[in-house]
Structure 1
Amino acid sequence: MSEDKHSKTEQPTARRLDEAKKKGNIPRSAEMTTTITLFTAIVTLYSSGGFMFSTLKNMSRDILSNIGTYEVTSAGAYSLMLKQFLILLIVLGPFVLIVMLAGIVSSISQGGLIFSTEKLAFDLTKLNPLNGMKKLLNKESAFQVLKSFVKIAIVGYVAYRILQQEVNDVIYLVERDIQGIVEFVSHLSYKIVLHTCGVMLILAVVDLAFVRWRFIENLKMTKQEVKDEHRHAEGDPQVKGKIKQMQFEQARRRMSKIIPTADVVITNPTHYAIALKYDRETMAAPVVIAKGIDFLAQKIKEMAREHKVMLVENRPLARELYATVKEGEPIPESLYAAVAEVLAYVYSIRGKV
């Protein structure tokens, strides 16, 4: 049975979020990036505009004052163009670099640096004009158009209100010189742009919150999807049970071959069981050939009884052997004395028998 959107009430899991990031699906607000970039450009231009303007003015003055001294040759033209290009690079380079960095940092801060090749993969369906028309005529496109109109209306209203406040001063421009007119226009432009950026920043914050909310909403899951996700992450209980059963059977078959060769099984007596084997001719020290706790320990003891292998209770030694020695490894020197005492006891009993 198909599940509608209303049945997706569960928050997306970490795995679902990671898959979305790998596909390049990141909740980024284009409005936020654009606004921060524009605001950075305006602040940079305002703070360094005087230097840029004076440098360009001096460059133009230098060209015009020395116009008669330039050689009208390809080498002279090349030298002049190179000189002016370097000046423009010094003047505009830092400005362009700062604006570019602002855009990059704004984009990365919203979702990190994610590089996905999936969106770059070649897909013939992307060349289908019908698919392109569907993208232009869907709800998402209509919403983006509506959002743009609302933003333009709000920003336009703010600009209109500022112009309305300054309209009385426009009348007195006829009494000012060119420098006064330029200063007034610059002041008015900066005021409009600054207030506009403030409004756009507020709209960008709202848009970012909406984008993140919609991102989570689109990734929400049904209760069954969450269960399937956990089952996939942790493993199907039935499959895990079968694997454990197979592992136990393999361990049981292996122990059924090696337990009969043990010299002694040291117990806790209920929770731990460690089977030891020692051959003076081939081994430098006793070796732990099998060990187990709880259920597996009971099985080791059962096999030991079946094959007449002696069980010796020594709780501290059993715990120490289980914790420090792996199966197939010899015991450490620190346990030589304790194990030797156990083996001596076993050998003495066997000697009596």
Structure 2
Amino acid sequence: MADQPATEKTEQPTPRRLEKAREQGQVPQSQELGAAATLLSLLLGLALLAPGLLHWCKLKVASGLTAGAGTGFSDVREFLHLAHRDLLDLIVVLLPLLALLTAAGLLASVAVGGLLFTPAGLRLRWNAINPAHTIPQLFSKRSAVRLLASVLKLFFVSLIVWLYLSDKLEVLAALRWAWSAEIIAAIGRILFGLGLRVGFAIAVIGLADTLYQKWQHLQELRMTRQEVKQERKDLEGSPEIKARIRRIQVEMSMKRLRQQVPKASVILVNPTHVAVALRYEAKTMEAPILLAKGADLMAERIVKLGRSYGIPVVQRPEVARAIYATVKPGQSIPEALYMAVAEVLAMLYRLRQKKRARN
């Protein structure tokens, strides 16, 4: 591991790298899966719509023959008008099939690369028409894999067609004695069965191609260790900046402590892990107020600063923990802690009175 060059892409792409590639329109795509979905949906649509389409075609043919029989068309414009009308009717009839094909293609694309719409994917890429960029790609590893996949697909599809039609030779030979309608129906069934077999074969190839495209996509986005470190630094900030921010935060905390702790009436501790500085003035306050709190090192600083100003430090572990966990600086302590804090304040008051009496 230590002998690997720093420029070698050995690390898996991070979520941020994948997201940036997605924003640029770089997602895995499988043309084979899309072709299979389109072919199978076409066969499904024809199976569902074929009776209606055939009936519609018979009506239009009969209508055209009737319109042109006897007197014929008066002029070319009348013929073009009828042809235009029938063409529009055909488009309307085929709309469900076109919608099915479009939906199948979109679903196949979403299944591989997910739902994606990004303006970056619509931009014109000059590299795509630059011979200096496209010619080397013709001899790349990706092109070699595509060529191999195309050859294998052609081989398997040709094998399926040959095996299927070989099995139907007797049926095809018997059609020479059949009526035209029977011939059309038989050929339609044969082509439909052939299309299904070819479609499922391409679907299997498409699934394999999908797995390969996803693997290849991750390989192309692999990162060097330096890139991973740089990305982490960009997201989290450099260690120097983070240390400086922590130092500024500590300085600001100490500044607040120097401003608030000297105003405290008492500091409750636990005994060294937690410290809370409280202030209470009977004439102006309804309840004691938390001026500052801290844990571990911050607690030590509060205690040290408080003692330097002569503020009493009292060990009350449970009360100190409760105040530390539930009260924010500047807030009054909860009513449930009134009695416990009042006992501490009363004890301090009695001690001050005794001290004054002795003096």
Range of TM-score over shorter length: 0.7 to 0.9
Aligned twin of 1:328: 330
Q: Once structures 1 and 2 are overlaid, which stretch shifts more, 109-118 or 81-90?
A: 81-90
Q: Deviations over 1:183-217 (max 9, x none)?
A: 23212212221221121111111111111111222
Q: Take 2:289 and 2:96, find their aligned partners in 1: how far apart are those partners?
A: 73
Aligned twin of 1:30: 31
Aligned twin of 2:100: 98
Q: Take 1:85 and 1:317, find their aligned partners in 2: how far apart are those partners?
A: 88
Residue 15 of structure 1 pairs with residue 16 of structure 2:
yes
Aligned twin of 2:313: 311
Runs of at least 4 residues off by over 6 Å: 68-79
In structure 1, give the amino acid aligned to 2:51: G
Q: Take 1:283 and 1:121, find their aligned partners in 2: how far apart are those partners?
A: 67
- Compute the RMSD of aligned alpha carbons: 3.2
Q: Once structures 1 and 2 are overlaid, which stretch shifts more, 28-37 or 221-230?
A: 221-230
Q: Take 1:8 and 1:48, find their aligned partners in 2: how far apart are those partners?
A: 53
TM-score (norm 1): 0.86
In structure 1, give the amino acid aligned to 2:218: I
Q: Take 2:347 and 2:30, find their aligned partners in 1: how far apart are those partners?
A: 78
- CA shift, 1:15, in A, is 2.6
Q: Secondary structure at the match of 2:281?
A: coil
- CA shift, 1:136, in A, is 4.6
Aligned twin of 2:53: 52
In structure 2, give the amino acid aligned to 1:25: Q
Identity value in percent? 32
Residue 148 of structure 1 pairs with residue 154 of structure 2:
no
Q: Secondary structure at the match of 2:100?
A: helix
CA gap of 1:75–1:291, structure 2 versus 1, over 3 A, is farther
Aligned pairs (5 A) from 1:276-315 = 276-280=278-282, 282-315=284-317
TM-score (norm 2): 0.85
Q: Take 2:10 and 2:222, find their aligned partners in 1: how far apart are those partners?
A: 6
Q: Secondary structure at the match of 1:273?
A: strand
Aligned pairs (5 A) from 1:156-235 = 156-235=158-237
Q: Take 1:70 and 1:289, find their aligned partners in 2: how far apart are those partners?
A: 104
Q: Secondary structure at the match of 1:119?
A: helix
- Mapped contact 1:259–1:304 kept (Cα < 8 A): yes
Q: Once structures 1 and 2 are overlaid, which stretch shifts more, 98-107 or 328-337?
A: 328-337
Q: Take 2:283 and 2:226, find their aligned partners in 1: how far apart are those partners?
A: 62
Structure 1: 5+ residue stretches without partners: none
Q: Take 2:168 and 2:258, find their aligned partners in 1: how far apart are those partners?
A: 98
**Count of aligned residue pairs for this structure pair:** 352
Q: Secondary structure at the match of 1:114?
A: coil
Q: Secondary structure at the match of 2:168?
A: helix
Aligned twin of 1:61: 62
Q: Take 2:91 and 2:12, find their aligned partners in 1: how far apart are those partners?
A: 51
Of residues 270, 273, 288, the one that matches 1:271 is 273
In structure 2, give the amino acid aligned to 1:288: L
